[in-house]
Amino acid sequence: MSHYAESPFLELVDTELEEWRENFVRIRLRLKPHHLNRAGVVHGGVLATLLDHAGGFSGAYCTVPGNRRYGMTLSLTCNFVSQSKTGSLIATGQVERSGNKIFFARTKVETEDGVLVATGSSVHRYRSGSEKPEGVPARDS
């Protein structure tokens, strides 16, 4: 899925959008040496990027092809529960509660074997026009 080829930072990090539907998203990251920190394990910033991405996208699925829904993260908490250095990481995001303007998400990052690596919780706000599933035309179209 190339839904977000337009997101430059996610391209740099090289995430892959695997499943996206209302209130849910699953993202994969194939770990490469440039994702590691000086201790040789995945950098916290990589995990935080996955959690932020999963949280934001969990509430931004759009039912109209070509349209977009934009959200801003207000607050993100990441807990780093174990370490990882190779293989794929799977990030999932689930909307826990959604209001008119605000939605709350729970997120996690696991290895392919199901070992929990990080958990997140986040609060997001829809930009004007993005509150409804139909969304708005993409920024540059």
Binding site for its own copies (CB under 8 A): 4, 6-13, 33-40, 43-46, 48-50, 52-53, 56, 68, 70, 72-83, 96-97, 101-102, 104, 106, 116, 119-121, 123, 125, 127, 139
Locate all alpha helices (DSSP H) within the chain, ordered by sequence. Answer: 8-13, 44-58
* Residue 121 Cβ vs its own copies, minimum distance, rounded to whole Å: 5
Smaller CB separation from its own copies, 26 or 41: 41
Q: Which is nearer to its own copies, 14 or 112 (CB)?
A: 14
**Do residues 4 and 71 make contact, with C-beta atoms less than 8 angstroms apart?**
no
Q: Smaller CB distance to its own copies: residue 1 or 139?
A: 139
Closest CA to 42 of 97, 91, 89, 94: 89
Q: How many CB atoms lie within 10 A of CB 39?
A: 9
Nearest approach, Cβ of 19 to its own copies (angstroms)? 18
Q: Least distance in Å: CB of 123 to its own copies?
A: 5
Q: Please give the single-letter amino acid code of residue 107.
A: T
d(CA 121, CA 77): 5
Give whichever of 63 and 79 is closer to its own copies, judged by the CB atom: 79
Structure tokens at 90: 């799977």
Distance CA 18, CA 20 (A): 7
From the CB of 47, what's the least distance to its own copies, in Å?
9
Q: Which is nearer to its own copies, 12 or 64 (CB)?
A: 12
Classify residue 105 by burial, with Cβ atoms within 10 Å: 0-12, 13-18, 19+. buried
> Least distance from C-beta 103 to its own copies, angstroms?
9
